[in-house]
Structure 1
Amino acid sequence: MDNIEAQTEEIIALQSIFEEKEFLIEGMNPICGRYIAEVLLPNPFYVVSKRGLGTNGAESENSKESTVDEHLQLEHLPPINLFFEFPSTYPSDTCPAFLLSCNWLTLDQITLLCKQLENLWVESFNEVILFRWIQFLKEEVLGFLNITDTLDVTELTKYSVRSAFTCQSVSCNKTNGKNMCSDESKMNVNNQMDGDYVVGKKCSGFQNIQPSVHGGSGSIDNRAILDLHDGKVLKARLKDFEAFKKMEVFQNSWQFCNICFADKKGSDCTVFKSCNHFFCNECIKSYFEVQIKEGNIYSLNCLEGKCSSQADGTMVKKIVSSELFERYDSLLLSRTLENMSDIAYCPRQKCQCPLLLDTCGRMGACPACKFVFCSFCKMAYHGVAPCNFKSGQKRQIFDEYMNADAARKAELEKSYGRKAMKSLVEDCLSDSWISSNSKNCPHCQSVIEKTEGCNKMTCFRCGSYFCWLCLKLLKMSNPYLHYQDRSSQCYDQLFPEEYLDDAFEIEPGEFLNL
């Protein structure tokens, strides 16, 4: 079997074993491609970074003492990317040309992996090697690097491309005795990610760097690529990949919905991010539709009992129809503007355009209809003159003033004028007293105040007799019959109980018969 046949059979066999998303062929002449190796991790597995402490407690790189800065427990790490290309002499005489990239291993560690791939080829000389390389990258990397259940990324968190490189030549390996060259294109071989995480370009598309059979003469292998521009973002990338993989696992497995009590595919369910509770899309959609139609946009909360998590706009847009989302978006904007003290709406019913008040918060100028109005009384702007009370609003303003704190009272006095507010308060208090202590004559509606005496009243204006208790007009010939009639609700109630003196006791009805 010649080399071409061996290469073709190897690729066909690997394509039957692995999915296209992890094993991708990007060219056939020569054969080149990539493998996305997701390393199997023990459980539990931790990622830690440390910082040195100086004598004054400040961070110091030279300090011998150190403390753990952050402690992450992960189930997944971003993949190690193997880019390969078959020379015409593979597998008879030459191993595949390759590049190896990773963002959570140092260049020294990636270099060790490159050397080990070479050693594995030497051990199986003249045989196809890709499956063995893949097996090593997935299952044996941690053991080979003496990483048990904890990965220390302290050195990587201090790394940056600009500080690492000192020359511009791709072939140069003199980089402070540690790194490769200053060409950032090599560091960015994997700058495009499938789903933000799976990275790589076609082998023929590399700029200034190609998969190589040889690693060069420097301390860092030319085929080792650190896919990290700034160590400060490493932890964020690890957390993002962890969340991405957990969601991928969730979507590809069956989940039980606690609303409809049915098993649904994870891809047909939605997770509330803040609480991680999930339900099928059909149940959430039905609930959201009812709430949005009724205008309860702040009630789009998690369906789990006593959970206060709220759905965000992205989640709502994914679940409901575009028409219903437009209503939700409009209501949300309207409610948000209402809660902003410097935002008002044009008081004209046919306009209602939102606008920004002036710096004093007193005047509003509608950009749509050009109406300039007072933000307090909503009437045409009247400058420093006090606002006029609208009909039917006096009681509302009085209640607000009486229940307000000192700052709000001062604001109302500024809006309507101090004298006007004083007069309003006095009038409302007078009206309240009159309402509580007087009644209207049932014949002429004159206001009658009762200070003492019996419940048989005589109107000062029309002379009619009426009952203070039930406001019924009484007979002019004998008004007291109303209190003698046993069928009357005011029977035997001519005098209030508090009016009767205990020292002057009379039998019921006795006074009426005198």
Structure 2
Amino acid sequence: MIKETIIDESRELISDELVALQSIYPELELDGNNCGRVSIPVSTEDTFYLSFPDLKTNKLDTIAVKHFPAIELEFFLRQGYPQKSPPVFFVKSSWLPIQKVRALTSHMLALWNEIHDCVLFDAIELVRSDASSAFHSPKEMVFPPGSESLKEEVLATDKHATLAEFENRKFTCLICFDQFSGKDCFQLARCGHVCCKQCLTDYYSVCIEEGMFSQLKCVDLECAKTAPILSLEEMEMIVGSDLRKRFQELDEKRRYENDTNIVFCPRKSCQGPARRDPGQKLAICLKCDFAFCSFCQASWHGDLSACRLQGDSKKLVKMYLEHLETDKDKAEELEKRYGKRILDKLVEQVRNDEEAERWALLNGQRCPTCDRVVERIDGCCHMICLCGTHFCFLCGAYLMEANPYIHFNDPSSTCYAMLFASPEEKQRFSENWL
């Protein structure tokens, strides 16, 4: 009877201990036969240095961590526990040395030997607090060759635990100065400064769109003086892959712009860099292989065919002529980049084109359909082009084929009553458009 009472009391003590233990450690697993297991995470305030041999270089690869893979503690409560028999402990760890595993097991048994009572909670806490003593001063450990998988496991554990700690803390954003939980913030990898996600995303997005690449660094004023710009991986985490690609494209274009032999593809869908020989007009896009003239931006027309200058090409000639008058150094830079002989030829061509355009405006008129210049030798201002278009010789407006003379009979028309305008009247009319 006394023996049964003792057994019942032991069962009650064990049941109470396991219930209390499971409330403290929800991850505790029990199998109903007085057996259980629990994963014990190991974290420290100090930084520890773990070294792994690199078989390729025969050197040590050292990593710094504060969190380690969990230690698995299994226990079995024998008959007579907790007063008569100690529990049986099994310690499993991927990183603890075998000597330390044995020492931990001995220390847990020593706990029971001192009090002959419930010791599971104390045993778990002993493992948690005593695991870091596996390292000797200055907190270093060297692992044997072939431990590459262990290194990856340690790094993954440390990264996950560090992120969890960060997300549960409160931070003040360096941009808007409001407080946020870590899960709503970014921490810059190189310096550790923290800003809320919205502020940092908005700020860096504007920097990329506006081409302010020198500002793609820490927003702290003192830190920004020496900090490098963000890495591409960190940039993508903050602004996304599309803006990261945009940054790379703009940065590549900026670097290419310093090369006098690089121009850019005129195709709007491409705009990739194109290399050409010094002083030559032929350029071939390195991105889409489009061959084009670097002066008129048209598809390649050969060296013997003249450029039909317009848009950027005319701007180039205008810029060159202005620099010849105001800034000789900049004019020389353009000559080095494009070649003086070619620039002189283009200047002459632009002047000839402008003179021809002036003559055509004063003495002829361009067909609004095919752009052919038509000269009037005799007759009225109702013109019929070779392409069949009816138009006004004075203003170039389309005329209705059925009744082209309405244009000249309309009092609101600029060409009212000028059907038979003289050449002198035509020139005075055209000078108003010059």
Q: TM range, normalised to the smaller chain?
A: 0.5 to 0.7
Q: Which residue of 1 aligns with 2:37?
A: 33
Q: SS of the residue aligned with 1:276?
A: coil
Using a 3 Å threshold, how does the CA distance of structure 1 residues 90 and 338 change in structure 2: closer, same or farther?
farther
- Once the two structures are aligned, what percentage of the paired residues are identical? 19
The yes-or-no answer on 1:391 pairing with 2:314 is: yes
Shift, 1:423, TM fit: 5.7
Aligned counterparts of 1:407 and 1:294: Cα–Cα separation in 2: 26
Aligned counterparts of 2:58 and 2:186: Cα–Cα separation in 1: 46
Q: Which of residues 246, 259, 264 is equivalent to 2:180?
A: 264
Q: SS of the residue aligned with 2:23?
A: helix
CA contact (8 A) 1:100 1:114 kept: no
Q: Which residue of 2 aligns with 1:14?
A: 21
Using a 3 Å threshold, how does the CA distance of structure 1 residues 359 and 132 change in structure 2: closer, same or farther?
farther
Shift, 1:326, TM fit: 7.0
Using a 3 Å threshold, how does the CA distance of structure 1 residues 406 and 94 change in structure 2: closer, same or farther?
farther
Q: SS of the residue aligned with 1:38?
A: strand
Q: Which of residues 96, 119, 128 is equivalent to 1:129?
A: 119
The count of residues paired between Structure 1 and Structure 2 equals 319
Aligned counterparts of 2:11 and 2:330: Cα–Cα separation in 1: 89
Aligned counterparts of 1:11 and 1:343: Cα–Cα separation in 2: 75
Aligned counterparts of 1:412 and 1:78: Cα–Cα separation in 2: 62
The yes-or-no answer on 1:362 pairing with 2:289 is: no
Q: Which of residues 420, 423, 442 is equivalent to 2:342?
A: 420
CA contact (8 A) 2:86 2:113 kept: no
Q: Which of residues 76, 81, 87 is equivalent to 2:71?
A: 81
Deviations 1:474-493 (A, max 9, x none): xxxxxxxxxxxxxxxxxxxx
Q: Which residue of 2 aligns with 1:495?
A: none
Using a 3 Å threshold, how does the CA distance of structure 1 residues 39 and 106 change in structure 2: closer, same or farther?
same
Shift, 1:373, TM fit: 2.0
Unaligned ranges ≥5, structure 2: 1-7, 351-434
CA contact (8 A) 1:35 1:83 kept: yes
Shift, 1:391, TM fit: 3.0
Q: SS of the residue aligned with 2:126?
A: helix
The one-letter code matched in structure 2 to 1:373 is F
Shift, 1:87, TM fit: 6.2
CA contact (8 A) 2:41 2:71 kept: yes
Using a 3 Å threshold, how does the CA distance of structure 1 residues 35 and 265 change in structure 2: closer, same or farther?
same
Shift, 1:278, TM fit: 1.5
Using a 3 Å threshold, how does the CA distance of structure 1 residues 297 and 264 change in structure 2: closer, same or farther?
same
Unaligned ranges ≥5, structure 1: 52-58, 62-68, 162-227, 429-514
Deviations 1:424-454 (A, max 9, x none): 79999xxxxxxxxxxxxxxxxxxxxxxxxxx
- Structure 1, 249-258 or 130-139: larger mean CA deviation: 249-258
The one-letter code matched in structure 2 to 1:25 is L
CA contact (8 A) 1:337 1:344 kept: no
Shift, 1:272, TM fit: 2.0
Q: Which of residues 293, 296, 299 is equivalent to 1:380?
A: 299
The yes-or-no answer on 1:100 pairing with 2:107 is: no
Q: Which of residues 160, 167, 175 is equivalent to 2:145?
A: 160
Aligned counterparts of 2:105 and 2:343: Cα–Cα separation in 1: 85
The yes-or-no answer on 1:150 pairing with 2:138 is: yes
Using a 3 Å threshold, how does the CA distance of structure 1 residues 355 and 314 change in structure 2: closer, same or farther?
closer
CA contact (8 A) 2:263 2:283 kept: no
Q: Which residue of 2 aligns with 1:109?
A: 100
Q: SS of the residue aligned with 2:221?
A: coil
Shift, 1:379, TM fit: 2.3
Aligned counterparts of 1:133 and 1:283: Cα–Cα separation in 2: 47
Shift, 1:319, TM fit: 5.9
The yes-or-no answer on 1:353 pairing with 2:270 is: yes
TM-score (ref. length: structure 1): 0.46
Aligned counterparts of 1:421 and 1:385: Cα–Cα separation in 2: 16
CA contact (8 A) 2:39 2:73 kept: yes
Aligned counterparts of 1:60 and 1:293: Cα–Cα separation in 2: 46
Shift, 1:73, TM fit: 7.8
- What aligned pairs does 1:54-69 form with structure 2 within 5 A after superposition? none
Q: Which residue of 2 aligns with 1:338?
A: 253
Q: SS of the residue aligned with 1:78?
A: strand
Q: Which residue of 2 aligns with 1:56?
A: none
Aligned counterparts of 2:154 and 2:139: Cα–Cα separation in 1: 15
CA contact (8 A) 1:292 1:327 kept: no
Q: Which residue of 2 aligns with 1:221?
A: none
Using a 3 Å threshold, how does the CA distance of structure 1 residues 288 and 60 change in structure 2: closer, same or farther?
closer
CA contact (8 A) 1:377 1:387 kept: no
Aligned counterparts of 1:135 and 1:120: Cα–Cα separation in 2: 12
CA contact (8 A) 2:265 2:274 kept: no
Q: SS of the residue aligned with 1:36?
A: strand
Using a 3 Å threshold, how does the CA distance of structure 1 residues 327 and 366 change in structure 2: closer, same or farther?
closer
CA contact (8 A) 2:49 2:141 kept: yes
Aligned counterparts of 2:38 and 2:125: Cα–Cα separation in 1: 14
Aligned counterparts of 1:306 and 1:265: Cα–Cα separation in 2: 24
Shift, 1:101, TM fit: 0.5
Question: Which protein, 1 or 2, shows the higher relative CO under an 8 Å CA cutoff with sep ≥ 6?
Answer: 1
CA contact (8 A) 1:345 1:352 kept: no
Deviations 1:248-294 (A, max 9, x none): 44432333334444443333332222222222345435545655676
Aligned counterparts of 1:11 and 1:328: Cα–Cα separation in 2: 54
TM-score (ref. length: structure 2): 0.53
